[in-house]
Structure 1
């Protein structure tokens, strides 16, 4: 499975937005985005106004980095969103928000999307009672996301829940049980996305 393995704090600085790629560290004074101004690199940033293409590209890269998808995956999501009825931008964000690794993170089972992706890949998460090891799997309304009932899985998730201070979005709910469990109440909408995104810029770029 292809994935970005470089320093993630550079991505936040490049995109000009805090993407919370390091979990609780992003809420502390150690956050590189807060300590260092401007994009990464030894050379000073160029003067002058960014072009329209550059603005569109940065917005797309911000969404890609936030959800942890690569260019080919993003293009496939965009093509799928184009084929759906209604607003393409809302459909695209809805597909990204429905990814299992994102849902596991939004439930608080993982402090970051990379950690949630690792939990899924290592078999710690079940969907409707069946083990799912595909982080990009799309959840549906009514799906039950549950931590595997074994000591190793429970210890990892409970530690993440103890450190997590993020609010669970409205389209998800956590049930009161000894084993951490969440339910997808409805499909997510564009209002459920936790970072500001100008989808019109992304649609204009991807439609070229």
Structure 2
């Protein structure tokens, strides 16, 4: 049996560093920089994105000291930026996105439409669209903390894909229901997507049909993404 060189040397392992490395893939910096980098609102900060304080409204140029001096994007650069925009909008990582793309390729129909519809069906996106949460990030947190049920079963996986007939409700606890009710009341002016039905009295949402290409929330040229991921 070969001895661990770190332990044999009497060194202590810093577990904090290990934890930080595991979480390095998740972006934890300023959200507004992402919107500015993509040049349009990705609605990553809820209410703030709809006010005059939105970074895109105040500074509609890429972040960085010498952003004005950057040259024209190459064909690859344009494709890459389109993919990054979709990833950041839905809050998925590169490996997750590649998995969605492989599944979309295997399905019948247009691969680009299949990819976007699959992302739109994510539970964190649905919870956000139903006004249960201010943003997709806060919706993800709501789900991970066990505050959301699908068909009366707790679901704490943000990437869960909803299907027709699914009923999404807050967990049957006073704290969860109050949290969702407060958010729904604050966002009551927001229009609910046509493929979803929100029942204010029962405080629940129902998937009435699967989304189609016209229901996709983000403006994207999916063909550029398909060209990039197919290489």
TM range (shorter): over 0.9
**What CA RMSD, in Å, does the superposition of the two structures yield over aligned residues?**
1.3
Q: Please give the alpha-carbon distance, in whole angstroms, between the structure 1 residues aligned to 2:190 and 2:228.
A: 32
- Match of 1:34, SS state, is helix
2:198 and 2:205 in contact (8 A); partners too: yes
Provide structure 2 residue ranges, at least 5 long, that are not aligned to the other structure. 1-22
- Match of 1:146, SS state, is strand
Task: Render the CA deviation track for 1:124-179: whole Å, top value 9, x for unaligned.
Answer: 1000010000000111111010111222112211221122132111110012434x
| Structure having greater relative contact order (Cα 8 Å, sep ≥ 6) | 1
Report the equivalent of 1:108: 131
Q: CA separation of 1:30/1:183 partners in 2, compared to 1, >3 Å: closer, same or farther?
A: same
Report the equivalent of 1:159: 182
Larger Rg: 2
Q: Please give the alpha-carbon distance, in whole angstroms, between the structure 2 residues aligned to 1:130 and 1:75.
A: 29
Matches within 5 A, 1:9-20: 9-20=32-43
Report the equivalent of 2:145: 122
- Match of 2:68, SS state, is coil
TM-score, scaled relative to structure 1: 0.95
Q: Please give the alpha-carbon distance, in whole angstroms, between the structure 1 residues aligned to 2:94 and 2:198.
A: 32
User: Which region of structure 1 is more displaced relative to structure 2, 47-56 or 139-148?
Assistant: 47-56
TM-score, scaled relative to structure 2: 0.86
Provide structure 1 residue ranges, at least 5 long, that are not aligned to the other structure. none
Q: Select which of 179, 194, 205 maps to 1:170.
A: 194
Count of residue pairs the alignment pairs up = 207
Q: CA separation of 1:77/1:25 partners in 2, compared to 1, >3 Å: closer, same or farther?
A: same
| Alpha-carbon distance, 1:46 to partner | 3.1
1:32 maps onto 2:52 in alignment: no
